[in-house]
Structure 1
Amino acid sequence: MTATAPREDDRTTAPPVEIIGGKSRMTDRHIRPRTVWLTAGLAVALLALSVLSAGIGAYGIPAGDVLASVAHRCGLGGHRLDRVAESVLWDVRLPRIVLALLVGGSLGCAGALMQGVFGNPLAEPGVIGISSGAAVGAVGSIALGLSFAGSWTVTVCAFAAGLLTVLVVYGLSRSGGRTEVVTLVLTGIAVNAFAGALIGLFIFVADNAQLTQITFWQLGSLAQATWPKVLAVLPCAAAGLGAAPFFARRLDLLALGERQARHLGVDVERLRIAAVLVVALLTAAAVAVAGIISFVGLVVPHLLRMAAGPGHRFLVPGSALGGALVLVAADLAARTLASPAELPLGVLTALIGSPFFFWLLRRTRGRQGGWA
């Protein structure tokens, strides 16, 4: 006997699933051509924007020269540029672009996982306190004058504090061996408030020089990008982005409801723990090297869900591509719109993301006929 699970009009809920002989199979064959074209389009746009971004700045480099220099470094022909152009390209621009790719991809992918785990398109990584926890670690290390890891102290403290915060939130949310989504969200809100109080306390005891450094870090930026920072975030980003697609099928089943997912063989609690840990890894690594950059994890997955439906087999990797594309574009705008000054990247994404979030709230409320 074959049955098809009901699908609501709102495409942000559950993907279509066929139940055949007790086994599930996602029926996305009708939207697959669209996802293929979207994936190809995102990849081409990301490549083109990266090349464009590498050439734009106070010292202009033609796109052809950018490609020739990259090909030369990779042993694929091309040619070497003059000394200044090579230095600008390889020591300033490319580390920044690669870091934007990793941070944006991590935040976008983490947002897609969070929305799948919570079953809510309004969820984003900051909900469970990862960003605020990482901020406590970074601000605390600056205010207390810690230097045990040299120039990496702030990054190490932010990463460790972000992961620790998630473990605390999840531990406080568990009851009877289970974790409910509502309890997890409410605990995250409480921890976010506590983290905000700690940040305020650290700011109170910081001196003027430390206040300047704290403010710059909290605004979010890729201005200090270097190849060592890229190598620092690369293992965490690669591990998280590599693991994320393996959650896709179970997240699709979870979208049907926890009870239905359990009947279809999904260990919901184990899935939730694993997904939250991957989200923590991705988000903490991104925040540690770039500061607080908001709304990427919220906006990108929802836009892709509107374009191609709620199936996570496309949504998870697609959000990584989309997040990388958005952050490369935002970073290019941040360093060129007010040249020679540079806009804070986190401020720019918030200015764009906040109106979108407001529109999303109104749209969701209108389609549901109210919250009650």
Structure 2
Amino acid sequence: MTRARTATVVLVLSGFLVLSILAGIALGPTVVPLGDVARFLWAALTGGTISADDVTGYSVVWNVRTPRVLLAVVVGAGLSVVGVAIQALVRNALADPFVLGISSGASVGATAVVVFGVFAGLGVFALSAAAFLGALGATVLVYAAASSRLGLTPLRLVLTGVALAYGFQAVMSVLVFMSPNGEAARTVLFWLLGSLGAAGWHSLPAASVVVVVAIAVLLRLSRPLDVLSMGDESAASLGVDAAALRRGLFVLTAAVTGLLVAVSGAIGFVGLVLPHVVRILVGSGHRRVLMVAPLAGACFLLWADLLSRTLFAPEELPVGVLTALVGVPVFIALMRRRGYLFGGGR
């Protein structure tokens, strides 16, 4: 029954995702009819021609909205599966992709670009490159500080990540305070709350490959993840090297988180709430959760981004504001839901 239910949920979410992608491309401050959307996409994919009157609409559909919608799909899927992995990694139902301090390290790199123009020679890639290097540096520091003779234990990992996150945030605040540019604080704040406004075709390849690889790897590790969630002693008795698995998961989740933050900013609540919602739908087995979580995360972030750019058009809200406004009440509802154990299924 559970397998059939999982298959049904996957099928429904897949269909909904396709419709959501079309809606995300069609809707916005200027609505593009679905017929025109289909015609422009077909022309772009097949090398067809369009009339001179359609150039503006074609540019909006293909060069602006399509890469943004696809990036929302990739980032939402990636944050969701990383949330599942991190909650198993640290055995903490309140863990999300940013609990390890990776996003705070990325924020320091991004702030350096906004405030002082670091890596300005990289042009449109400057912000992403600096954010990824900041995330990489944070990963190394967290790993070095959390490692001990006992290995990479969940408690040390969480405490180290939280402590260093505060340190990175302090560094970021100092950089903003020292900025000669009065608009720096606003720009940094917008980035910290997450935004897909800078999405372009250049943002998609690396993020897509990393997310697909992460999903494939985690699906292969679904059974060890089930065992790891029961504790290190249980894992050892079942032949799973918890320390080695935890190290591998840490590297994988840090790399994915760093890259996603680099292209979209720090979008919260997706990796925290979606894994719990999925567990309610299909149970707590990691294979089932990892099959559904990418689809759920993609749909959720796609619609959050659509609302962020249409509610107050032509002004745009940071997408992280929308994910928090939805995520907080959903999370509270989950806590009050009778019979649900966080991280433990139904």
TM norm. shorter chain > 0.5: yes
Residue 168 of structure 1 pairs with residue 154 of structure 2: no
Q: Could you list the per-position Cα deviations for residues 120-163 of structure 1 after superposition, in whole angstroms to 9, with x for gaps in the alignment? A: 32211111111111111111232232124223121111112112
Q: Residues 363 and 135 (structure 1 numbering): CA distance in 2 closer, same or farther, change over 3 Å?
A: farther
The more displaced of 301-310 and 358-367 is 358-367
Match of residue 124 from structure 2: 151
Map 1:285-304 onto structure 2 (within 5 A). Answer: 285-304=259-278
The more displaced of 329-338 and 233-242 is 233-242
Match of residue 242 from structure 1: 216
Residue 345 of structure 1 pairs with residue 319 of structure 2: yes
The more displaced of 40-49 and 148-157 is 148-157
Q: Secondary structure at the match of 2:221?
A: helix
Shift of 1:363: 5.4
Residue 329 of structure 1 pairs with residue 300 of structure 2: no
Match of residue 161 from structure 2: 188
Map 1:36-185 onto structure 2 (within 5 A). Answer: 36-75=7-46, 80=50, 82-146=54-118, 147-185=120-158
Inter-partner Cα distance in structure 2 for 1:330 and 1:269: 37
Inter-partner Cα distance in structure 2 for 1:171 and 1:340: 46
Shift of 1:362: 5.3
Counterpart amino acid of 1:55? A
Inter-partner Cα distance in structure 1 for 2:339 and 2:163: 25
Inter-partner Cα distance in structure 2 for 1:259 and 1:244: 22
Match of residue 274 from structure 1: 248
Q: Secondary structure at the match of 2:76?
A: helix
Map 1:302-313 onto structure 2 (within 5 A). Answer: 302-313=276-287
**Structural RMSD (CA):** 2.2
Q: Residues 366 and 221 (structure 1 numbering): CA distance in 2 closer, same or farther, change over 3 Å?
A: closer
Counterpart amino acid of 1:106? G
Residue 219 of structure 1 pairs with residue 193 of structure 2: yes
Q: Residues 364 and 134 (structure 1 numbering): CA distance in 2 closer, same or farther, change over 3 Å?
A: farther
| Higher strand content, 1 or 2 | 1
Aligned 8 A contact 1:109 1:317 in 2: no
Q: Secondary structure at the match of 2:289?
A: helix
Aligned 8 A contact 1:243 1:278 in 2: no
Match of residue 5 from structure 2: 34
Q: Secondary structure at the match of 1:127?
A: coil
Residue 354 of structure 1 pairs with residue 325 of structure 2: no
Shift of 1:172: 1.2
Structure 2 unmatched ranges of 5 or more: none
The percentage of aligned residue pairs carrying the same residue is: 36
Q: Residues 65 and 348 (structure 1 numbering): CA distance in 2 closer, same or farther, change over 3 Å?
A: same
Q: Residues 255 and 318 (structure 1 numbering): CA distance in 2 closer, same or farther, change over 3 Å?
A: same
Shift of 1:352: 1.7
Inter-partner Cα distance in structure 1 for 2:228 and 2:184: 45
Q: Could you list the per-position Cα deviations for residues 310-355 of structure 1 after superposition, in whole angstroms to 9, with x for gaps in the alignment? A: 1111212321111111110001111111122211111111122223
Counterpart amino acid of 2:65? R
Aligned 8 A contact 1:240 1:281 in 2: no
Specify the structure having the higher radius of gyration (Cα): 1
Q: Could you list the per-position Cα deviations for residues 79-121 of structure 1 after superposition, in whole angstroms to 9, with x for gaps in the alignment? A: 8572222111001110110111111111111101111222232
Q: How many residues align?
A: 338
Match of 1:199 among 159, 172, 175: 172
Residue 320 of structure 1 pairs with residue 294 of structure 2: yes
Q: Secondary structure at the match of 1:239?
A: helix
Q: Residues 144 and 361 (structure 1 numbering): CA distance in 2 closer, same or farther, change over 3 Å?
A: farther
Match of residue 3 from structure 1: none
Structure 1 unmatched ranges of 5 or more: 1-29
Q: Residues 255 and 226 (structure 1 numbering): CA distance in 2 closer, same or farther, change over 3 Å?
A: same
Inter-partner Cα distance in structure 2 for 1:252 and 1:130: 25
Shift of 1:65: 2.9
Inter-partner Cα distance in structure 2 for 1:165 and 1:217: 18
